[in-house]
Chains A and B, each alone.
Chain A
């Protein structure tokens, strides 16, 4: 089998995170392969965000391992990385798209500078080249270039989210974490942005982990789903399988509860 030679990008085994006596998430194991978009769905409080934060190193694990396929090193236990190595990973191979653009953007520097900053963090120095690349990415996310020098404060939520996505992707990360990427947006903006995310992920062969409570969002942009409840994964599978043929009682409840406009 040709796929056997390839290694997963991320390997998670027996991950748990407790907050004192309270379980954030437990017994989570999965492999994520290059080019795959994994959705994590479940109601609020089900442990989705805890899991995402554990995976991305923003939160420590209580038990378990998270390994990432580091360039030139292969699968490496993230707990064994130094702080500097972890920060480098955050700036290069990983990207994070937050629900609120305010968390992912610097609000007091221009759209262009927000993108340029991430490039400079990985060593780019030529102003003209940085600006050209920033403009290129703003175009990719369908952002009006006339506003490249404006501050994010003056943008709509949808525009801010586009800038955040451009800023995240400019270093060509191999793995992107997204926490409710369209959660705070008007439905009118959501659809276009989702299609954009879907197209970029495909074009760049990105792997992504997307946390969402919106099953319609999950159907549009993810390949596989993990359904969480009470901190545990109750069902996994192809996205369309889980949504069209859910097996677990909780998944069936979740799917049958969605309003169809």
Chain B
């Protein structure tokens, strides 16, 4: 479903004396449908950068990022912006570490938004969003409120609900349980397993060993400064 070949990424910081940081030096990764692959390595080994490259958020310097989209192969590293947007709309979901949302928009609408963009009717999208929030133990009295005042754990669950609601064939998860208590970690872990078992290719960063053991089928090892497998 998702494959990288010789993926390289570095940052050239013009505003900081032109410092150059090499974060990915030729990554070859493959994530198959129906499996959960955990990126594993110390802080600074480039896990999040790799995730962001896969999603097209960071621009790869060289190499390929191949994604099955709409019956064909798209190279995220070379695709036009609108192709990447199309991939994100229907093929590849991404759960970032922190919720980023338009201020003053109700939690329920934030969660329903990806379904709305995929063309699902408002009432249906809201109903499915509500069911998701319910499962993640967000009480319904919070649904009409904007998440800015929610606790860190609640915000993260809103973010996870939003990311897991649509049925994407590929899911990228950047620390989806970092701010959650044990009960909610279990709920999220169960949801991730369900996604993989339903045929989704899941790539994730899970610092919590318990969660990682519970969800990952395979580890992809990354070392600081030198990445490959």
Contacts and interface: CB of A to CB of B under 8 A. Distances in A.
Contacts of B15: 249, 252-253, 256
B52 interface: yes
Contacts of A2: 70
Interface residues of B, number: 24
B117 A237 contact: no
Contact of A195 (B11, B58, B104, B116): B104
Interface in B100-137: 102-105, 116-117
Interface string B10-34: 0111110000000000000000000
B82 interface: yes
Interface string A217-261: 000100110000000000001101100110111001100100000
Interface string B75-91: 00000011111100000
Contact of A1 (B58, B59, B72, B104): B72
A195 B15 CA distance: 33
Contact of B56 (A36, A192, A238, A248): A238
Nearest to A8: B82
Interface in B49-65: 52, 56-59
Which residue, of B12, B81, B86, has the highest number of chain A Cβ atoms within 10 A?
B81
B68 to A, nearest CB: 15
B150 to A, nearest CB: 17
Contact of B103 (A191, A237, A241, A252): A191
Given A241-B56, A241-B57, A249-B15, A33 B82 contact: yes
Nearest to B79: A238
Contact of B82 (A3, A202, A247): A3
A245 B12 contact: no
Given A1-B72, A191-B103, A195-B102, A252 B13 contact: yes
Interface class of chain A by DSSP: helix
A185 B105 CA distance: 18
A198 interface: yes
A23 interface: no
A195 B105 contact: yes
A142 B116 CA distance: 19
Interface string A200-222: 00100000000000000000100
Interface string A12-37: 00000000000000000000010010
B102 A194 contact: yes
A3 B102 CA distance: 30
Instruction: Name the 5 nearest CB pairs between A and B, nearest first.
Output: A249-B14, A191-B103, A245-B58, A195-B102, A238-B81
Given A198-B102, A253-B15, 6 more contacts: A33-B82, A195-B104, A202-B117, A241-B58, A244-B58, A247-B59
